[in-house]
Each structure stands twice: as C-alpha cells, then as structure tokens.
Amino acid sequence: MFTSRGLMLLVLLGAMANVNAAPTHHHINASAIGTGVARGLNWEDESLQSPVWCGSACSYLQVSTAKIAPDIGSTYKPLGWPGPFSTIFPDPAVVERSIPTPQGTVDSSGREIVHDSTFYERAAVDVNRAGMSLTAKVYQSGNQPTGQNGTAAAVLAYHTRVQNQSSGGRDFFVRFTAPKSLKSLSAADYIGGPSGNQPMYYTQKYAKARSSVDVLVNGMPVWSTASNYFFPEEFTGGPYEGFRNNWGSASDDDIYTVFVGRFASGAIFNLDFIVRADSVARAPQCGKDTEPATYPNPRVLMHCFLLGEGRDLPDASNAQQRFEIYSKTVSTAIYQLLPGVIPISSISSKSISIEAH
Amino acid sequence: MRTLLLLVAACAAVHANAAELPFRLATSGEVTSLAQPSVIATPLNQTDFMTGAHVTVKKPSSNTTSKAQRANQATSAVYKAAISAGTDPNPHPVPPAVQPGDFVYYEDNHDSVQAWATMSELGQPFVMVYADGQTQGSATASWSTRYLVPGSGNRDVYVQFKIPAVNFGGRFEDAHPSLTWARMRTDFLVNAYPAWSTETTRFNETWIDPDTNRLREKAVHLETFGFDLGLDADHTTSTARTITLKLGTYPAGKPLDLTLLFQVEGKLESECGPDGGEIVCGNIAVKVSWDPTLPQPTFYSKPAP
C-alpha cells in the first residue's frame, strides 16, 4: 500500500549508505595557505617517514551546540564555556534540542495517531548507528504557534593549539575522514487520488538545508566541503524537486591528508575543525492514511514533510575516523625568482606571495 | 488541541536545557555604552594579528590553480585569473580598487575567470569572483588574532566590525544557457566556534520555452542562512552593516582566539559558444566590496556589573 513512499526512502538510504565503496585517500599540499610559504612535498617520501604524533604538543578545545526555533541562543556542551583544553582529541560532546511529536494520542474514533518522525524539530550532536553524527531535522514546520518556519541548527567546533616542540622546523599534517553528508527528505503524502491507491502529495511551501565542514589554519581554510538544498518560496516544482549543490572537496568515503606547512621550532598555530548543519522548512500540511477497520488495532499514520541535513563525525575510538595531527621533516623549499631588481636587503618573510599550480 | 500540544512541547523543550553560549548581538544601549571612559577599546592593529588571502580559479579542461599570501600585522592581497583566450586585463591585487575595465570580456577572453582576495592591515576585506563560461573560482580573506581580555576583574567583552556591501550579479545568455551558482560566507569565530555568521547563495532556475524549445532563465534566487543582510532576488546588493556582538563575560587576562573570515565562490556549468559572429557566455559575479574607509574591527572590555 505504501510502496511509493517506501521506495523513495529506500533510494535515499541506498544512495546515502554506499557501504561497499572503498575510501579514496586524497593528499593536499596547503602549505601556501597555512603559512604563506609554499613548500614542495613528495607524498611517496612522506609515506615512508614515520610520523611524530602531536601528543601533548596539541591542545584541543571542543564545543557542540544545538538550536531550534524559537531558541534565541545555542545550547552547548560541554558546559563551562570555554571549557578546558585537553591534550587528547576528545569525542564530540553530545547535545540535543528537540520538540517531540505527540505520542499516545488518538483520534475521535479512538485510533492511535502515529507520526513518521518522533520530533517536529531536532538539532543534535549525538550517536547514530555508525558512530557520532551531527543532525538538523525539521518535520511539518509552519504550523507552530508562532507561524514561523521550523528551524534546527547544530555545530561542532574543535579549536586546536599546536606547538612545534622540536628543536628545528617541522612539517605539520592533519589527517581525517571527511564527514559524510547525511541528507533526508520525505514528502508529506497519503494514499488516495482518483484510483484511491496512488501516492498524493502536499508540496512544502519553503525549505532549505545546508551542511559544511571547514578545516582552518590560523583563520584560513585549508580544506572545505559543503552541501546545499533549496526549495524557494516561489518555486513551483514537486516535493522531491528543488535545487541541490555541493561546494569544495568530495566528502563521500574520502580520507584526506593535508600538509598545512612547515612551522619553526617553538611556533604555535591554531588548527580549527568546524562542522555545521541547518534545516529550515515551512510545510504545514500533512498526509494522513487511516488503516482499515479490519486491522486488529487500526491507526492513523501521519506523513508530514521531513527535511534533514547532517554530517558523520570523527570518532576518537576509530582510528580511521580520527582527526589526527602529526609532523615530519619531508618537505623541500621552493625558490621563486622575484620579478624586477634583485633586492639587496633581506625580504620580509611575513609577506611573501606564493603561487601554486 | 494540536496548537496547545505544540506550545506545551515547545515550552518543555526550551526549559530543558538553559545553558546557552554567550554570543549575541549587542543591544543599542550596550553599543552606546562602549563609548564610556571605563571601557577599554582595542583596535585590531593593536593586537598580534595575522591576515590571509587565497584565491582559486579553474577554466575548462584545466586544473585548478591558486595563489595565497599570509602576513603578520600587514596586508595580504592576491589576484589570479584563468584565461582561455586573449590576455588578462588586470594583473594586480586590490588596492587599488577594481575598475570596470579590469574585468575579462567574454568576446575576447571566452571561458575565463578572475578572483581577488585582500585583507588589509586595518582589517578591511575584499573578495571577488568574476566568471564567464564554464569556469569556477573562489576568494577567501581573513584576519585572526589572540585577544587577551584587558583590565581587571570580570569583564564584559564585545567586538564591533563592519561588513562591507555585498553584491551578486550574473548574465544569462539565451544562445548558451548556463546554470550558475554563487555564494558569500562571512563567519566570526571565537575559539573556532561561529559566534556570528551569514551565508547567501545565488542560483538560477531555467525552463524550456515551448515556443522555441530552448532553455530560458525563469528566475534567480537568493537564499540566506544566518544573519540576514537583506539580500534577495530583488535586492542583489546589500548596504554595509556594522555588527556589534557581545562575546560574554570573562576574567581579565582570558585569551580568546578570534577570526573574521570572508569567502565568495562562483561557478557556471556551460561553456561559451558562438552566437552569430561573436562568442557569448553566461556570467556570475560575487563580491564583498572594497572600502578603504572601513573602520577597524575593535574589541571592547568593560567592567562586568
């Protein structure tokens, strides 16, 4: 009876799962962005040298936040902002904000009303089947007391202070599994129409979602990925249509090693890792399927518009998914002939311009 | 009944977790209070700050190329172009400001893209991508600093910065239609956490004209997450906005790592092509405007009540 809806969800889940794909390992030389000084790097040489793990040279500060309408501020964990720095990469702190859908309610005929989602709005950093994830979901919004859009937003931010504690310059690397985008969209539908047995839809009035991941060195992104979904107010397409777009690096089963540059002995730099997700929707109409009276305990099944966006997160207990920082001495200087007269005085190392091709 | 249930649920949810991060827009009274003599104002250039600028460009059948610059307490500024034909009309970063004649011209340069990124020694940004044909580009500029809360005892800490005018533009060519995307992001980070942010995306919608069976542009959409700068399909240029944030109350001497990051990106899906005797292409342009009179970002520390 509900084959169309089930199929749609199956397709979405299948597309998201992609469990058999082998991870692709990418190597990025971002030394010019990280330090302003581009250095050459042979990744084969890099792979042959043992890493020096950051250990106590890295101090991590982490915060997870969640926010749903009508919140003004963001609920956060761990409490006590800004929390203490840790020398061990901490697991994401679990945080959640949600408004539950009614449970145990019945209609005028005594039939239980069951919603597809257990939440109208939910923003969370929490544990899913695969590990940790960051989630922002909105269900049937637009029918709230305020009449405003439903919104959910979650953020996970790691702020790392890295110090080169060696006696000489070191090349610093960060390795991580790209947090995979976790999308979900389910239209408000019911079974009916002229045949009485076909899926009928209530199209959402407005919806949008985004998720992004950024890795920054001293305030400049050395790696980014983002995913967008838009269903504008003026758009006249169907409920599963809309506009989707990705920015930046691929993030499906992708592992990245980013060379962020060579830092002098004693140098301290910031390495930030920021994951965000937002969902916004206005979709007041829900589909309703009433199970036949011949069923033992007939129910009323509510199918409202559901929009979700999120990201898988690093898992400190899983080596493949850790956010790891290490150093080596493997890069080589790139000498660039500056245009014009050769300067007699030394050039300030603070503002050398580097081109990377 | 349903409304009542939602109201009850909402109230329950709101009170379930009361602890909130301290970041919020300052009230007008708080903004006025920052001029009081008891307040310690610290402009960006009185801190040990770092600037950065980075651009990437890509033309058809070529790899992405990039250019980056970092500086301590000085300007970072880069420019880069990927030119498919003809010559690059403007090889200099900003400042000086970009002039109308500095842009590539599709008839001469075909599928070409330009990107500028600047963060001045006074915290003034400029990021821009101008792209014709099947190209893409990005521009990023930031400052970051470690602010040690000055004074004594507990202090209320504020930051004030100005977001220059943001502008989205684009051109749709009926002869060579193209889907186009552009976005602008600005984030103010406190210890990596986005305490304030705005992100606007521009994209176009096409349809097939049944009379001609050709693709036409039906609409241009602008959608925003975070702080609303007032950009929409009818307002593709925002006015400059002063943002004053309260960052919370901290003991004097507390270090806060602060970053203001500006990013723009643009990309088009279709190549340029002939239309009669000339080459035509779609275009996308996005920028955070250059304003050499922009006031410095400034941090404020005042005694907590």
Query: What pLDDT was estimated at residue A143?
Result: 61
The CA distance from B44 to the nearest CA of chain A, in Å, is 15
What is the secondary structure of B213-249 as a DSSP string?
Answer: TEEEEEEEEEEEEES--S-BTTB-BPPPEEEEEEEEE
Q: What is the pLDDT of residue A26?
A: 96
* B105-126: pLDDT as tens digits: 999 999 999 999 999 999 999 9
Q: What span, in angstroms and rounded, lies between the C-alpha atoms of A320 and A316?
A: 9
Q: Which residues pair with A288 in a beta bridge?
A: A302
**Mean local confidence (pLDDT), B183-193:** 98
Q: Is B227 on the interface with A (CB under 8 A)?
A: no
Note whether B91 and B104 are within 8 A (CB): no
Cβ–Cβ < 8 Å for B186, B263: yes
- Alpha-carbon gap: A214 to the closest alpha carbon of chain B (Å): 10
What is the spatial distance between Cα A217 and Cα A219, in angstroms, rounded to a whole number? 5
Residue A75 has its nearest CB partner, among B9, B19, B248, at B19
pTM score, whole prediction: 0.91
Q: How many CB pairs under 8 A join A and B?
A: 186
CB–CB of B74 and A350 under 8 A? Answer: yes
* Min Cα–Cα distance to chain B from A345, Å: 19
CB contact under 8 A, A245 and B181: yes
Measure in Å the smallest separation between the Cα of A43 and chain B Cα atoms.
19
The per-residue pLDDT for range A219-246, each reduced to its tens digit, is 999 999 999 999 999 999 999 999 999 9
**Model pLDDT, residue A316:** 58
- Residue B278 in tokens: 């000339």
Residue A121 contacts residue B16 (beta carbons within 8 Å): no
The rounded distance, in Å, linking the Cα atoms of A119 and A132 is: 19
In this structure, the strands spanning A332-333 and A198-202 are: unpaired
- A22 CB-near residues (< 8 Å, 6+ apart): A253
- Is the Cα dihedral A259, B69, B195, A135 positive or negative? negative
Substitution target from B184, B185, B191 for chain A, most A beta carbons within 10 A: B191
Which residues of chain A fall below pLDDT 50? 1-19, 341-357
Q: Which residues of B are less than 8 Å from A232 in CB distance?
A: 219, 221, 223
A39 is written with which tokens?
């250095």
CB atoms A219 and B181 under 8 Å = no
* pLDDT tens profile B256-304: 999 999 999 999 999 999 999 999 999 999 999 999 999 999 999 999 9
**B52/A contact by beta carbon, under 8 A:** yes
**Hey, which residues does A100 pair with through a beta bridge?**
A119
Q: Please state the ipTM of this predicted complex.
A: 0.94
Helix spans in chain A (H): 3-17, 31-35, 43-48
